[in-house]
Amino acid sequence: MAAPSAAQRIVIENAAIATVDANDTEYASGYLVVADNKIESIGAGKAPEGLENVVRRIDATGHLITPGLVNTHHHFYQWITRGLATDHNLFNWLVALYPTWSRIDESMVRVAAQGSLAMMARGGVTTAMDHHYVYPKNSGDLSGAIIGAASDMGVRFTLARGSMDMSEKDGFLPPDFAVETTEGALAATEETVKKFHDASFDAMTQVAVAPCSPFSISTQLLKQGAELARRLGVRMHTHGSETVEEEKFCHELFGMGPTDYFESTGFLGEDVWMAHCVHMNDSDIAAFARTGTGVAHCPSSNARLAAGIARVPDMLKAGVPVGLGVDGTASNESGELHTELRNALLINRLGAHREAALNARQALRLGTYGGAQVLGRADNIGSLEAGKLADFVLWKIDGLGHSSIADPVTAVVFGAAAPVTASFVNGRQIVENNRLLFADEEQIARDARAEAQRLARITAQS
């Protein structure tokens, strides 16, 4: 029998390190040793001597190393419908955009996924997710195109296979032509999980069951979606409590608020994370804490759509797992996650808790470990600890934007978006000096423009 090949090591030294472990351990000058796709050791000072099979040494002087950022809510297809309906609230924004979104096809979705992923990855995202809920008839293999784009770029990825089965004719929001049948959506979701979901420790692709929102889905889809997810052992995701209009809709149709409605369908639990959660009262937050339901906090999108300010400090105090989300880029045109750390901190300080709402380290935790928690991956990513997967970022903090800020974490969270000198996923470098190593940004930009124009033309002709 052939001897197992020895692990290949990468040694990184002389960096400030924020591990985001349970004790928030930090090193003013430390080292990180990667062996194959895992962190082998991490600590203060220089790396241990005598390591074998060291294939690369990096002198990270002038950098902060953090866990890779984890994005917990997005809609990639919206990359080709950015900058539209810019002065709308959620409901009239959705009504304005559904007719365009209902005309997407596989080629458009592939390019939109590449654009969304590229924008995040070059800014330090190592784990991404896409809540894709628009599946027009005969539009091709949309889920396959999205997953292929993430895999090509080397980004760890969760596809939340979304669905909508209720429309205007039922008194719901989407136009009739934009929705699937309940049975069709459930069958396609099951097929997607069986084809793509990987449950292993170092999985690069996972799939979640993700009916869209209370005003676009039936109670049956929520209940059967929850049953399906639990039968297959995968996570569940949806939008909830985003706006006052949604709250009113739920009270009028279901006789209760969104959180009680979700709980009545089985759609709360440790295996669920929900986007937005802006309009939550004390009992809603307590229900999330009691059931272990996670939250994807999307501060920029909530501001763009005038939704409100989520009560993140109260959620954290109650023990609710909270991560950060870019949200779709039709409601957050920047498409970056690293700026959401700063926006989460600043926007939450406009709420009841003022300057005590969040600090820099809590913001970093939301964007890393918190994200890993809500995606169900806190055992393998989200903090820098021996045995965890080697997903991490080297932020350059000795340049113009940051060198005069003494504290490295404050520099990265409060300061301008810090340049990413290197980003690693699963022990493999995917970004160097803010450039993607496995994608051509200029080509993606050209393709995205062409596909955005093609979609606008098709919509105008329909």
Ligand X SMILES: Nc1nc2[nH]c(O)nc2c(=O)[nH]1
**Binding footprint of ligand X on the chain (CB under 6 A):** 75, 90, 94, 212-213, 216, 239, 242, 301, 327-328, 331
Classify 323 in phi/psi space as left (phi over 0), alpha (psi -120 to 50) or beta: beta
* Residue showing the smallest CB distance to ligand X in the complex: 213
Min dist CB 81 to ligand X, Å, is 10
Q: Which is closer to ligand X, CB of 173 or CB of 412? A: 173
DSSP category for residue 71: B
Strand partners, 237: 273
Judged by beta carbon, residue 96 or residue 456, the one nearer ligand X is 96
Q: Which is nearer to ligand X, 103 or 239 (CB)?
A: 239
User: Rounded to the nearest whole angstrom, what is the least distance from the CB of residue 238 to ligand X in the complex?
Assistant: 9
Joined tokens for residue 4: 């197992």
**C-beta closer to ligand X: residue 302 or 421:** 302
| Residue 391 backbone zone (phi > 0: left; psi -120 to 50: alpha; other: beta) | beta
CB of 196 to ligand X, least distance (A): 22
Provide CB contacts within 8 A for 4, sequence distance 6+.
Answer: none
CB of 432 to ligand X, least distance (A): 33
How many other CB atoms are there within 10 angstroms of residue 213's CB atom? 24
The nearer residue to ligand X, 213 or 291, going by C-beta atoms, is 213
Rounded least distance, CB 173 to ligand X, Å = 7
Output 100 or 362, the one with its CB closest to ligand X: 100
Alpha helix positions (H), 122-270: 142-153, 182-196, 219-232, 244-254, 258-264
Residue written as tokens 């969104």?
258
Nearer to ligand X, 73 or 197 (CB): 73
Q: Where are the beta strands (DSSP E) in 24-62?
A: 26-35, 38-44, 54-59
- Shortest Cβ distance from residue 4 to ligand X (Å)? 47
Cβ closest to ligand X, residue 18 vs residue 347: 347
The answer to whether the beta carbons of residues 340 and 299 sit under 8 Å apart is yes
Give the pairing type, strands 26-35 and 156-163: unpaired
- Cα–Cα distance, 435 to 242 (Å, whole number): 34
| Nearest distance from C-beta of residue 129 to ligand X, angstroms | 14
Residue with smaller CB distance to ligand X, 4 or 83: 83
The DSSP-derived string for 364-396 is HHIIIIIHHHHTT-TTTSSS--TTSB--EEEEE
38, β-bridge pairs: 35, 389
Taking the complex as a whole, how short is the minimal distance between the CB of residue 149 and ligand X, in angstroms?
19
DSSP code at position 190: H
Task: For residues 251 and 295, give the distance between their C-alpha atoms in angstroms, rounded to a whole number.
Answer: 22
Which residue type does 449 have? R
Considering the complex, what minimum distance in angstroms separates the CB of residue 302 from ligand X? 8
> Among candidates 236, 190, 191, 235, which has minimal Cα distance to 211?
236
